[in-house]
Chains A and B, each alone.
Chain A
Amino acid sequence: MRLIYFDHSATTPLDPRVRAAMEPLLADVFGNPSSLHTAGREARAAVDRARSQVAELLHAGPGEIVFVAGGTEADNLAIIGALSASGPPSGHLVVSAIEHPAVLATCEHLRRSGVAVTEVPPDADGILDPAAVAEAIRPDTRLISVMAANNVVGTLQPIAAIGAIARGHGVLFHTDAVQALGKVPIDVSTMHIDLLSMSAHKLHGPKGIGALFVRKGVALAPIVHGGGQERGLRSATENVAGIAGFGCAAAIASDGMASEATRLVALRDRILDTLASALPHAYLIGHRYKRLPGHICLGIAGYEGETIKLLLALDEAGIAVSTGSACSAHHAGEPSSILLAMGFDPIRARGSLRITLGRFNTDAEVDRFLELLPRAVAALRPLAHQAQLERSLC
């Protein structure tokens, strides 16, 4: 049975073209990019090429890209680095209440050092109001961090508007664009972004490599100390093959972004339209359109406590989806903090099914999913009687 993979917000399969780009760097081109000999210079060239490819995806300069180990490290470097740039961490930080744990846990860490943090909740659609962010700014605010797209609900945040507010107040603006990168156009200049976190494995690149965009002139303190690689911001011998893979993945995403978005939106809409009649008590969580092209966050009224069983039933049938965020899968018994922040009650907040489509998904796979999901739901035991569930959505 061939796996149908609908969990692209957790991670994506490696694109064969990316693998091909990485292979020479895992074999013949093994030099240390810091070395001056030929082997080192070859590796350096591969890193520089990838740096340009990643920068192009953001309309940034190559000198503004710092390679790190992944999205989590990029978030840590951006937030801790910005608040520690001129001494011990201090001041005030504004974040959204629906950030990835890589941001929220970092904020918690900084709180213990005396940094004040304000969390701005989203509206019921899972989208932040830029005016609410503006209201949270204080005279000692040093950084605003709002993700470009939410990992659980898939909603797109108004980062251009928030960036303009931050610029107007003279506050740095960081966005965790791990989910949005390569799916949504990002221009760091027009969106007034100072710091932007990326991860390669969310766009069909390899795991273990990410990057932070650091606008030229923005002061940042490193969180990893050593040999001074990556302009002193991230010491460690570069993951050359990973970097080359990231560059290739960025170039592929950049080339086909609009056509891929159109295709994924069509698949997404077909799923939603079909489920509207096949599962009348299903409901979409988050804004209907302001969301990632292949992202569906689904609740099924009366079955919210059963989504783990649904996930397992689909898995048995060869379809991979997730409940909430993969990063919190070890805490599956806890309601999603993101849905709680959106105002859902604790039962509904633990009951979302995340279906995220990607580059290699096909119409036939969507057909199979649409055939199996209603069957899997019918085999569950709802908390409230099914005959009454449809009324709840009037």
Chain B
Amino acid sequence: MSATTVEDLPGLNCGLCGVRTCAELAARLPTQPGLLARCIHLSDEGVAAEGTGPAIPVVRRPIPLPQAGMPRASWTDTLGREFDFYLEHFPEDPGPREIILPHNPMLTRELDVQVGEVLIGRPLGMSCGCPITHCGVAVDVDKRNGVIVWCVTGPLNPRQKGYKDLGYYIAEGYEGLITESRTDPKIGMRYYFQPRMCMLQWRHSGLVNYLNRVPQGWQVRLEGLWIG
């Protein structure tokens, strides 16, 4: 459909397209064909292609995760336990992004932790109970409540650059990408998952409380973490 004359337009002069009259709209169509998509009275069919498209994204209901890439996943950890998806870190981050809280939250202030500093500590007890001491780089620090967001890196950083020792911390949440999954993740559900960079390749479990469709798969945040 290519309405270009005033006869093709509804003639209601409603102004809802942003142009005062249908005649004025028709006069502008030869140079601005995208305006036609703004007429609320015309069908979308054949009109959308001529539209300039919105600058602000219009978000529709989430689309299901494509199941591509699944064959290379085994879906069991090193202890033979099943899990639902791999958690990858954001490509621009130096490592997996964790939200952590020192066992004494005041430590964040006492150590004067700054963004970019190298930290070490072990996720003690509840929330993970991992036997491995982790090293990472702080990317966000909230001194009001002690919460630190860091990206876990290898031990090379602290050796080369020095570090601040948190001692023990609680892993409060993970953020990352799901690019391989054998299920459609749903917000509010608890899943077994495998952090791709976990040294022990043990499955973890956590509650999905943020989920967003992205070109690589899903952007996800998991809280209420446990190992196993």
Chain A interfacial positions (CB closer than 8 Å to B):
124-125, 156, 184-185, 257-262, 265-266, 269, 272-273, 275-277, 282-290, 293, 299, 301-302, 342-348, 383-385, 387-389, 391-394
Verify B14–A258 contact, CB threshold 8 A. yes
Between-chain CB contacts (< 8 Å), 15 pairs: A124-B60, A258-B20, A266-B18, A276-B56, A283-B56, A283-B58, A284-B58, A284-B59, A385-B97, A391-B215, A391-B219, A392-B212, A392-B214, A394-B214, A394-B215
Cβ 8 A contact of A393, one of B12, B16, B57:
B57
Q: Which B residue sits closest to A256, measured CB to CB?
A: B15
**Interfacial chain B residues near A301, Cβ < 8 Å:** 59, 212
Verify B20–A388 contact, CB threshold 8 A. no
**Cα distance, A387 to B89, chains bound together (Å):** 13
**Cα distance, A352 to B222, chains bound together (Å):** 23
Verify B209–A347 contact, CB threshold 8 A. yes
**Interfacial chain A residues near B17, Cβ < 8 Å:** 265, 289
Cβ 8 A contact of B212, one of A125, A275, A384:
A384
Flag whether B134 is at the interface (Cβ < 8 A).
no
- Encode B97-111 as 1/0 by CB contact (under 8 A) with A: 100000000000000
Closest 5 A/B residue pairs (Cβ): A343-B61, A261-B15, A124-B60, A258-B15, A392-B212
Flag whether B6 is at the interface (Cβ < 8 A).
no
**Interfacial chain A residues near B209, Cβ < 8 Å:** 347, 383
Cβ 8 A contact of A272, one of B54, B213, B215:
B54
Q: Which B residue sits closest to A124, measured CB to CB?
A: B60
Asked, given contacts A185-B12, A259-B20, A394-B215, whether A273 binds B149 with beta carbons under 8 Å apart, the answer is no
Q: Tell me which residues from 164 to 211 in chain B have a Cβ below 8 Å from any Cβ of chain A.
A: 175, 186-188, 209-211
Verify B210–A347 contact, CB threshold 8 A. yes
For the complex formed, measure the closest distance between the CB of A374 and the CB atoms of chain B, giving whole angstroms: 13
Interface centre among B39, B56, B212 (most CB of A within 10 A): B56
For the complex formed, measure the closest distance between the CB of A305 and the CB atoms of chain B, giving whole angstroms: 9
Verify B58–A293 contact, CB threshold 8 A. no
Cβ 8 A contact of B54, one of A288, A290, A343, A346:
A288
**Interfacial chain B residues near A385, Cβ < 8 Å:** 97, 139-140, 149, 175
B interface, over-half SS: loop
**Interfacial chain B residues near A389, Cβ < 8 Å:** 212
Verify A342–B61 contact, CB threshold 8 A. yes
Verify A283–B57 contact, CB threshold 8 A. yes
Verify A184–B56 contact, CB threshold 8 A. no
**Interfacial chain B residues near A262, Cβ < 8 Å:** 15, 18-20
Verify B140–A265 contact, CB threshold 8 A. no
- Encode B137-154 as 1/0 by CB contact (under 8 A) with A: 001100000000100000
- Encode B14-29 as 1/0 by CB contact (under 8 A) with A: 1111111100000000
For the complex formed, measure the closest distance between the CB of A223 and the CB atoms of chain B, giving whole angstroms: 34
**Cα distance, A346 to B90, chains bound together (Å):** 25
Cβ 8 A contact of A261, one of B14, B175, B213:
B14
For the complex formed, measure the closest distance between the CB of A156 and the CB atoms of chain B, giving whole angstroms: 6
**Cα distance, A152 to B39, chains bound together (Å):** 21
**Interfacial chain A residues near B40, Cβ < 8 Å:** 156, 289-290
**Interfacial chain A residues near B210, Cβ < 8 Å:** 302, 347, 383-384
**Interfacial chain A residues near B219, Cβ < 8 Å:** 384, 388, 391-392
Q: Tell me which residues from 1 to 54 in chain B have a Cβ below 8 Å from any Cβ of chain A.
A: 12-21, 37-40, 54
Interface centre among B54, B186, B213 (most CB of A within 10 A): B54
Asked, given contacts A156-B40, A273-B55, A282-B56, whether A261 binds B214 with beta carbons under 8 Å apart, the answer is no
Q: Which A residue sits closest to B147, measured CB to CB?
A: A381
Verify B58–A287 contact, CB threshold 8 A. yes
Verify A383–B59 contact, CB threshold 8 A. no
**Interfacial chain B residues near A265, Cβ < 8 Å:** 15-18
Cβ 8 A contact of A284, one of B56, B212, B214:
B56
**Cα distance, A347 to B220, chains bound together (Å):** 13
For the complex formed, measure the closest distance between the CB of B108 and the CB atoms of chain A, giving whole angstroms: 16
**Interfacial chain A residues near B55, Cβ < 8 Å:** 272-273, 276-277
- Encode B69-97 as 1/0 by CB contact (under 8 A) with A: 00000000000000000000010100001
**Interfacial chain A residues near B97, Cβ < 8 Å:** 385
**Cα distance, A288 to B55, chains bound together (Å):** 10
Interface centre among B97, B213, B219 (most CB of A within 10 A): B219
Flag whether B62 is at the interface (Cβ < 8 A).
yes
For the complex formed, measure the closest distance between the CB of B172 and the CB atoms of chain A, giving whole angstroms: 12
Cβ 8 A contact of B188, one of A156, A346, A384:
A346
Q: Which A residue sits closest to B55, measured CB to CB?
A: A276
Flag whether B122 is at the interface (Cβ < 8 A).
no
